[in-house]
Structure 1
Amino acid sequence: EIKDEFRGLPKYIFDDKRIRKFFAETKEKYILYGEWLIKHTVNYDPEFMNRFWIFDVYDKEEHRYLKYPEYEDMLVTEKLDYIPVILTITDPTMDILLRMVREKEHTPKSGFGADAIEGLVYKNYDFINRFGNNVYMKAVTKDFYEIHRTVMGGAGKRIDPEVYLIHKYQTPARMEKMYHKMVDDHGTLQMKHIPEFMNRVLHDLFVEDAWNMFMRDKSVKKLRFDMGTLRKVSYAMSKNWYIDKLRQRGTDGDDKEGKEEDKDSKGE
């Protein structure tokens, strides 16, 4: 079922014999990530437009992203469009990475014909953060930053209303309150309680502060916002806070305070 046409992308994917052949031959083992290169804020050369450019391949069986040398031959064999790696570097310092971006600022055009280069994306496929995610880094050029500074930060920066509301009203104190209520209910908290915690925090947020958030807060009173996005931002903050809390309590995900309370009650 197609939920969003996204300016022709689903039709392009279904009509592209190369992509269909790739999925058929690999028995849909992989997920292809890429950029649907259509006209937006950056102008690219016409021959690159309206094409899906692959930049990552995920192995569903091994639950990991393939490294570039692992998937390059597959894409070349099927003649799929992909974004090539510029350089492979071992243990670079931050100064080296930033210098590479500064050097790109003097390049007249990008490899896809854009008048300005956004920046560089650095990938370490072996790095997994504490939340179990494989994260990348993007360093942007000075010109790109200045053009988009209202979104990225700086003087007069603009923040999405959903992000603003959650960061203002979903305070650590609120999450701490809900956490201890769950300790009272369950005694021992584990990773399996994350969904309940996220929903409790969001419910408390709406019950206690809906009027302040949507009617009285002058910063967003006249702005339109999306409830689905608001929920996602809230869930993400709650999940990260909860995982950090469990790590503070112990690596096994148990709540030590809850255990101590259980021991005391048994002793009585």
Structure 2
Amino acid sequence: MRRIKMEQKKYTDVIRFGHQTTEGVFNEGNFIIIQEKLDGANASFRYDEETKSIRAFSRNLELHEEENLHGFFQWTQQLPKEEVLAGMVYFGEWLNPHKIKYPQYEKQFFLFDLYDTVACEYVDFAIVEREAQRLGLHLVPVFYQGEYHGEEHLKSFVGKTALGGKLRDEEIGEGIVVKNADYRDRFGRQLFVKIVTDVFSEVKRLKPPKDPNQPKSGEVLFVEQYVTRARVEKFLYKLIDEGVMEETFGVKDMGVILKNLNLRIQEDLFKEEADSLPDGYDEKELRKAISKVIPLFVKELFLEKAPGNP
């Protein structure tokens, strides 16, 4: 049966805590929810009333038998479709192996949100909890629900994992996602916030220049701060999720990697870090600086994956 293309609802961008757009999201006394940020592939599904079927999506694409996000599409087709709520998009994390491994939960789905396509908003988390229980779905681990008690309280949960996440031999979590269900920005939009562990940070502190007499350009300083190994690695795993390359990537894939990463990371920076771009920057110089840094991080990752390295 030929499928009619369904408009895809992408999950909202989760903003780094401390970014200027997160100012005012949390105030003393607000009711917040702190969830574990899982290191997997963003995935979603919904019931299509017209075709009476379950439609499945990765972050950017509708999935099918061949383009299946490493088995996520097939998993959704086993769901009791008559019980999936119409008009709702079920968002979660498909634990395809990324940087952090979850040995007991590989290739399993963890629900973290529901989007109401009629009301055009993410529903109260109590509804998400009930849906997970009703459909027998894993629910993303919740570290805390209650009043907001400041930044230090939030950060006390960063690095914890309820699923036994491991980076090499160390038990660690990617970070946390924090939600204030009542907050709306000046455009009426909900906004969710993340805090990640240092190894996942996409921003780094700049060190004083070695030679003050040879100052670097604003474009180079911007790239040094925002084109981090974590940002490069994030997009590398997206290429694996999308089937652009295999998990066993290596030097042979360098051409494909650079072709894809240069463009994607540039787009990500212009979207996520636009407020930090230097005044009057030269876009050509900025793109040139980005393209010089990415291969260095990719080569680091190649070395780590080489035989004999843990």
Asked whether 1:38 is paired with 2:102, we answer no
Opposite residue 225 of structure 2, the aligned amino acid is: K
- Within 2, Cα distance between the matches of 1:21 and 1:50? 24
Indicate the structure with greater strand content: 2
Percent identity (aligned): 19
Per the TM alignment, residue 96 of structure 1 is displaced from its structure 2 partner at its CA by 2.6
- 2:203 maps to 152
Indicate the structure with greater helix content: 1
- Within 1, Cα distance between the matches of 2:133 and 2:153? 30
* Cα gap change, 1:96 to 1:164, in 2 (>3 Å): closer
- 2:83 maps to 22
Opposite residue 127 of structure 1, the aligned amino acid is: Y
- Within 2, Cα distance between the matches of 1:217 and 1:60? 37
Choose between structure 1 and 2 for higher RCO, CA contacts under 8 A separated by at least 6 residues: 2
In our comparison, the structure showing a higher alpha carbon Rg is: 1
Asked whether 1:8 is paired with 2:65, we answer no
- Within 2, Cα distance between the matches of 1:91 and 1:158? 29
- 2:187 maps to 131
- Within 1, Cα distance between the matches of 2:154 and 2:129? 24
- State the TM-score, normalized to the length of structure 1: 0.52
Opposite residue 97 of structure 1, the aligned amino acid is: L
Kindly indicate whether the alpha-carbon contact (under 8 Å) linking 2:95 and 2:106 is maintained by their aligned counterparts in 1. Answer: yes
Kindly indicate whether the alpha-carbon contact (under 8 Å) linking 1:33 and 1:54 is maintained by their aligned counterparts in 2. Answer: yes
- 2:149 maps to 92
Kindly indicate whether the alpha-carbon contact (under 8 Å) linking 1:215 and 1:221 is maintained by their aligned counterparts in 2. Answer: no
- Within 2, Cα distance between the matches of 1:29 and 1:161? 34
Per the TM alignment, residue 52 of structure 1 is displaced from its structure 2 partner at its CA by 1.6
- 2:123 maps to 66
Aligned-partner SS, 1:111: coil
Per the TM alignment, residue 22 of structure 1 is displaced from its structure 2 partner at its CA by 3.2
- Within 2, Cα distance between the matches of 1:222 and 1:120? 31
Kindly indicate whether the alpha-carbon contact (under 8 Å) linking 2:95 and 2:107 is maintained by their aligned counterparts in 1. Answer: yes
Q: Deviations over 1:25-47 (max 9, x none)?
A: x2x2211111111101111123x
Opposite residue 203 of structure 2, the aligned amino acid is: M
Kindly indicate whether the alpha-carbon contact (under 8 Å) linking 1:44 and 1:113 is maintained by their aligned counterparts in 2. Answer: yes
Per the TM alignment, residue 158 of structure 1 is displaced from its structure 2 partner at its CA by 4.2
Per the TM alignment, residue 91 of structure 1 is displaced from its structure 2 partner at its CA by 3.8
- Within 1, Cα distance between the matches of 2:286 and 2:79? 54
Per the TM alignment, residue 17 of structure 1 is displaced from its structure 2 partner at its CA by 2.1
For structure 1, the residue ranges without an aligned partner over 5 or more in a row are 174-208, 225-268
Per the TM alignment, residue 217 of structure 1 is displaced from its structure 2 partner at its CA by 6.1
Kindly indicate whether the alpha-carbon contact (under 8 Å) linking 1:9 and 1:36 is maintained by their aligned counterparts in 2. Answer: no
- Count of residues in correspondence between the two structures: 170
Kindly indicate whether the alpha-carbon contact (under 8 Å) linking 1:57 and 1:66 is maintained by their aligned counterparts in 2. Answer: yes
- 1:219 maps to 289
Asked whether 1:111 is paired with 2:162, we answer yes
Q: Which moved more, 1:86-95 or 1:75-84?
A: 86-95
Q: Deviations over 1:61-108 (max 9, x none)?
A: 22221222223222212112221433211242233323x33xx55x5x
- Within 1, Cα distance between the matches of 2:78 and 2:225? 41
- 1:78 maps to 135
Opposite residue 90 of structure 2, the aligned amino acid is: L
- Within 2, Cα distance between the matches of 1:79 and 1:216? 48
